[in-house]
Structure 1
Amino acid sequence: MRGKMTNGEMIKYASRAGEVAAYISKPEKTSKPAPGVILIHEIFGLSDHIKDVADRLARAGYVTIAPDLFSIPEIAGVLTSENLSEAMKFMHTLPMEKMRDTDYVAQALEKYETGNKQGLLAAMQMAFMGGMPKPKLVEEMKGAAAYLRSLDGVNADKIGSMGFCFGGGMSILLACNEKIDACIIFYGENPDPISLVENVKGPIMGIYGGKDIRISSNVDKLLSAAVQYNKAFEMKLYPEAAHAFFNDTNERTYNKAAAEDAWERVLSFFSKNLSSGQ
């Protein structure tokens, strides 16, 4: 999945919180304005993996911006690289099936020994235990959409979103609050309340792992809302895949066959609904 970086760079764009850091990757050559995609990172932040996915989308013809949502002041002091690294180490000590069991995680945190316990607890509370300021993050993502639309060479009428894990939930939440022409959810949580789906303007695609019970067992609620509010929704469930199966830097969860098939579905969905024509 790795590939040469193409026209990618870190930038900053103006938003509610001031300047937000982001990675942007552009197609090398376009004969006409290209569609844009807002790519939203996992709970562990704007990683090299997410930048690589942005580059892959750019090679497919999409101007792609991946905001560092953890760079805003409300979050930056808590979800630091040190604290996130400690959180990742802690999470890797847990059985995969218990990673989203908040009671189990809380008990394991009490017993976990580290020299950065305060930072770990703060990061875990914000990232995994309901402390994330999602309404504020929606505003930062709307700022990313506005920035994309302002760029020369971007088709302002064709903007999509895609995210993984935490970012998958934020992708659909953005589509509930902004005109997004095609929304992709990789194993992300449903909007809360689910009635927000009524506001979605474009089609939705959900991609899930069968072994990701906590997330995948709630997809029926999103499907029901899509039916209730007459929204286009398509879904793919990979029975043998776990949470984060697309991330090829995570040896514990990566599923090559599912990831490759999912990528083809991503390209087909965006081509159909964003009409890249590149």
Structure 2
Amino acid sequence: MSKKLDSDIPQEAFDWYDEYAHGGMDRRTFMAKLGTLVAVGYSMALLTSTLLPNYVLAEQVSFNDADIKATYETFYSPNGYGKGAGYLVTPTKKTGTLPVVLVIHENRGLNPYVKDVTRRLAKAGYLAFAPDALFTLGGYPGNDDEGRAMQKTMERSKIQQDFVAAAKFIKKHDRSNGKLGAVGFCFGGYIVNYLAAIESDLIVAGVPFYGTPAQSELRKNIKASLLIQLAELDERVNKYWPEYENDLKKVGAPYQMHMYKNAQHGFHNDSTGRYDKENADLAWDRTLAFFAEKLV
């Protein structure tokens, strides 16, 4: 039997991981399905190393970088869980006020990949703040499976309000220029869409990566500019796009949508085998150009 390569892993394996990562399949079922691929020549080590995150890979900007300073800050969230906290990263070589970006994690808490994205934004000159939805449960536990299970126990409406409170907190920061953008991934992409819809003037610009839209009744409130990043192979999220686009057009919301060819859901996350460097770099360049236009 010939040895299978990571480039040969079938699409169904990525689909299984997506279902597992979003709560539609438990770990035992996911591993059992991977076992069916082992039976036809794939190694389990190859499959798990390709599909599951390895956060050693997710550091493009070191936390020791002299151009940034990272701290943890708390904020009040009266309509959420009462109190929140997040990772605040500030450029060290810029003075005065700064454009601000809220960074929103996936459905498993503030993991190393999202913290690195926050540092990348600060390195680019933004005041960047990444809240951890799991703060009231002790914070991201250092393991995505545990983090996902923890976040699943929380009330979605309260989590949403925690991010609204975080947006208001960082928008009023002493170093803020008053222009707030938001970028988020997967669940975080949904939260970006939600922040744009829940209050018309909360954010100026939003970049949802492969995120579902806010509830249809809220979309009439959208005034923020949106840069929507979608992955061609992400059928679960993409099925919402035609309706969402129609609603954005109805309210005259400014938006751009980019569909990344042959990209998987999660293609920007450089800690997993779904990472697509070419598409991720292009999407990130577009993100920085968008924020430079809308926030500076």
Q: Report TM bin, short chain.
A: 0.7 to 0.9
Equivalent residue for 1:85? 145
Equivalent residue for 2:61? 3
Q: What per-residue deviation string (whole Å, max 9, x for no partner) do you get for residues 26-45 of structure 1? A: 11132431111111001121
Whether the aligned pair in 1 keeps the contact of 2:111 and 2:142 (CA below 8 Å) is no
Distance in 2, Cα, partners of 1:80 & 1:29 = 30
Indicate the structure whose relative CO is greater, using CA pairs within 8 Å and at least 6 residues apart. Answer: 1
Equivalent residue for 1:174? 195
* Secondary structure class of the residue paired with 2:168: helix
Distance in 1, Cα, partners of 2:193 & 2:217 = 12
TM-score where L is the length of structure 2: 0.72
User: Which residue identity does 1:133 align to in structure 2?
Assistant: E
Distance in 1, Cα, partners of 2:170 & 2:227 = 22
Equivalent residue for 1:42? 106
Whether the aligned pair in 1 keeps the contact of 2:213 and 2:240 (CA below 8 Å) is yes
Matched, 1:198 2:223: no
Whether the aligned pair in 1 keeps the contact of 2:108 and 2:140 (CA below 8 Å) is no
User: What displacement does 1:132 show?
Assistant: 5.4
User: What displacement does 1:146 show?
Assistant: 2.1
User: What displacement does 1:81 show?
Assistant: 2.7
Structure 1 residue runs of 4 or more that deviate by more than 4 Å after TM superposition: none
Matched, 1:63 2:127: yes
User: What displacement does 1:133 show?
Assistant: 2.6
Equivalent residue for 2:243? 221
Distance in 2, Cα, partners of 1:51 & 1:87 = 15
The correspondence of residues 1-278 of structure 1 with structure 2, limited to 5 A, is 2-5=60-63, 6-16=68-78, 17-72=81-136, 76=137, 81=141, 84-85=144-145, 123=149, 127=152, 133-156=155-178, 158-178=179-199, 179-192=202-215, 194-251=216-273, 253-275=274-296
User: What displacement does 1:84 show?
Assistant: 4.3
Distance in 2, Cα, partners of 1:154 & 1:223 = 31
User: What displacement does 1:19 show?
Assistant: 2.4
Distance in 2, Cα, partners of 1:166 & 1:137 = 11
For structure 1, which runs of at least 5 residues remain unmatched after alignment? 89-122
User: What displacement does 1:82 show?
Assistant: 7.6
* Secondary structure class of the residue paired with 1:228: helix
Whether the aligned pair in 1 keeps the contact of 2:180 and 2:203 (CA below 8 Å) is yes
* Secondary structure class of the residue paired with 1:180: coil
User: Which residue identity does 1:81 align to in structure 2?
Assistant: P
Whether the aligned pair in 2 keeps the contact of 1:241 and 1:255 (CA below 8 Å) is yes
Equivalent residue for 1:107? none
User: Which residue identity does 1:226 align to in structure 2?
Assistant: L
Q: How many residues in Structure 1 have an aligned counterpart in Structure 2?
A: 230
Whether the aligned pair in 1 keeps the contact of 2:102 and 2:181 (CA below 8 Å) is yes
* Secondary structure class of the residue paired with 1:64: strand
Distance in 2, Cα, partners of 1:237 & 1:228 = 21
* Secondary structure class of the residue paired with 1:168: helix
User: Which residue identity does 1:3 align to in structure 2?
Assistant: V
Equivalent residue for 2:23? none
* Secondary structure class of the residue paired with 2:193: helix
User: Which residue identity does 1:136 align to in structure 2?
Assistant: K
User: What displacement does 1:199 show?
Assistant: 0.9
* Secondary structure class of the residue paired with 1:176: helix
> Computing the radius of gyration over CA atoms, which structure comes out larger, 1 or 2?
2
Name the CA shift for 1:87/1:18 in 2 (closer, same or farther; >3 Å): closer
